[in-house]
């Protein structure tokens, strides 16, 4: 199977084929996702919350992202790897944005990067990264790196001004050259409208069924995340692990493990 690319994802939209994206942070789970046919693995700065235990994504650094991206890249043969640019890695200016995007590619092995926010703010950073030959994914709606400005994790674009702004931001990121667009936590009807208006694929998360593709945070899908209305738990790994850990403790304490069978002569 040929590797999914930023270019082939655009063809998927034209063909009407839905795009399945998951977040990934480590080698073993990324390998399973790649084998399962997930089209793109986003090494999200959500690792700050679901892996590192922070209450938001702001403490995540470039070094963290390079570390996680390199593990995911080593695990994939088919999926497109998208490295997420963390807080303050692209906001300061285009030179720094390019240097950091470059690190996700050269040290992390990613084939593309993602940043949050509109082209009206980050157009020069997007251009600098694209000029170096690195595909850029946009991200609008609920943008967690602006959580203090937004005032909480809530649905965006509910009122007329918000809808107009998000439509303009989507068009602006398409014009800036982004190969795809994450739409996070926006009303379904608005996501459908944006999807119809732009030629690049829209990847929804909390954006309803009419986007060109879907992304979920892995931990939400396997029952290790917090409850979110838009996520679906496909298996309860949390319950399985808790049971296994408790059984291990019990068997070590009772002497049931290890047995002779687990030992060397
Ligand atoms: O960091 C992340 O995982 C993301 C997705 C939720 C889109 O940006």
Mean pLDDT of the chain: 97
**Contact, 43 vs 82, CB < 8 A?**
yes
Give nearest CA residue, ligand 1 atom 3: 44
Q: In the predicted model, what is the mean pLDDT of residues 158-173?
A: 98
pLDDT digits (tens, 9 = 90+) for 21-40: 999 999 999 999 999 999 99
Give nearest CA residue, ligand 1 atom 8: 44
Two tokens at 156?
């965006």
pLDDT digits (tens, 9 = 90+) for 81-105: 999 999 999 999 999 999 999 999 9
Q: Span 6-234: which CATH code?
A: 3.20.20.60
Residue labelled with tokens 């690319």: 5
Task: Output the CA–CA distances (angstroms, integers) from residue 148 to 144, 151, 152, 168, 214, in the order listed.
Answer: 9, 5, 7, 23, 26
Predicted pLDDT of residue 226: 87
Among 58, 85, 184, 230, which is best to mutate for testing ligand 1, by the most ligand atoms less than 8 A from CB?
A: 184
Task: Output the CA–CA distances (angstroms, integers) from residue 21 to 137, 182, 202, 210, in the order listed.
Answer: 13, 10, 11, 15
Predicted pLDDT of residue 262: 95
Q: Give the model's confidence band at 247: pLDDT under 50 very low, under 70 low, under 90 confident, else very high.
A: very high
Q: Considering 184, 193, 250, 251, which one is annotated as catalytic?
A: 184
pLDDT digits (tens, 9 = 90+) for 48-57: 999 999 999 9
Predicted pLDDT of residue 61: 98
| Cα gap 132→177, rounded to integer Å | 13
Q: Give the model's confidence band at 227: pLDDT under 50 very low, under 70 low, under 90 confident, else very high.
A: confident
Instruction: Quote the ligand 1 centre to 11 CA distance (angstroms).
Output: 23
Two tokens at 231?
């996520």
Instruction: Quote the ligand 1 centre to 246 CA distance (angstroms).
Output: 32
Pairing state between β 202-205 and 180-184: parallel
Q: What percent of the chain has pLDDT over 90?
A: 98
- Cα angle 101, 105, 109; round to 5: 145
| Cα gap 97→123, rounded to integer Å | 11
pLDDT digits (tens, 9 = 90+) for 104-156: 999 999 999 999 999 999 999 999 999 999 999 999 999 999 999 999 999 99
Active site includes 116? no
pLDDT digits (tens, 9 = 90+) for 57-68: 999 999 999 999
Instruction: Quote the ligand 1 centre to 95 CA distance (angstroms).
Output: 24
Q: Which residues sit with their C-beta closer than 6 Å to ligand 1? A: 23, 42, 44-46, 84, 139, 182, 184, 205, 215, 217
Among 33, 41, 44, which is best to mutate for testing ligand 1, by the most ligand atoms less than 8 A from CB?
A: 44
- In the chain, CATH 3.20.20.60 covers 6-234
Residue 177's DSSP bridge partners are none
pLDDT of 1 over the 80 cut: no
| Cα gap 220→208, rounded to integer Å | 16
Instruction: Quote the ligand 1 centre to 51 CA distance (angstroms).
Output: 13
Question: Which atom of ligand 1 lies at the shortest distance from residue 216's CA?
Answer: 6
Q: In the predicted model, what is the mean pLDDT of residues 157-165?
A: 97
Predicted pLDDT of residue 90: 98
Give nearest CA residue, ligand 1 atom 4: 44
Nearest to 187 by CA among 169, 211, 168, 171: 211
């Amino acid at each position: 199977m040929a590797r999914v690319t930023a270019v082939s994802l655009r063809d998927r939209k034209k063909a009407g084929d839905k795009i399945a994206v998951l977040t990934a942070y480590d080698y073993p789970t990324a390998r399973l996702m790649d084998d399962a046919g997930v089209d793109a693995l986003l090494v999200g700065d959500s690792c700050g919350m679901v892996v590192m235990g922070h209450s938001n994504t702001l403490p995540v650094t470039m070094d963290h992202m390079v570390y996680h991206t390199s593990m995911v890249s080593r695990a994939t043969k088919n999926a497109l790897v998208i490295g997420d640019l963390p807080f303050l890695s692209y906001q300061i200016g285009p030179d720094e944005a390019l240097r950091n995007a470059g690190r996700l590619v050269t040290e992390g092995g990613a084939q593309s990067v993602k940043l949050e926010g509109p082209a009206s703010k980050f157009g020069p950073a997007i251009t600098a990264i694209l000029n170096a030959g690195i595909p850029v994914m946009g991200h609008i709606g609920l943008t967690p790196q602006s959580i203090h400005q937004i005032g909480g994790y809530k649905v965006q674009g509910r009122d007329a001004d918000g809808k107009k702004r998000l439509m303009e931001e989507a068009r602006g990121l398409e014009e800036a050259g982004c190969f795809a667009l994450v739409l996070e936590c926006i009303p379904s009807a608005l996501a459908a409208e944006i999807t119809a208006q732009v030629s690049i694929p829209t990847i929804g998360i909390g954006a309803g069924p009419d986007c060109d593709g879907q992304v979920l945070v892995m931990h939400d899908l396997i029952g290790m995340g917090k409850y979110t209305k838009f996520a679906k738990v496909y298996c309860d790994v949390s319950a399985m692990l808790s049971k296994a850990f408790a059984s291990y403790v019990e068997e070590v304490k009772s002497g049931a493990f290890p047995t002779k069978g687990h030992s060397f002569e």
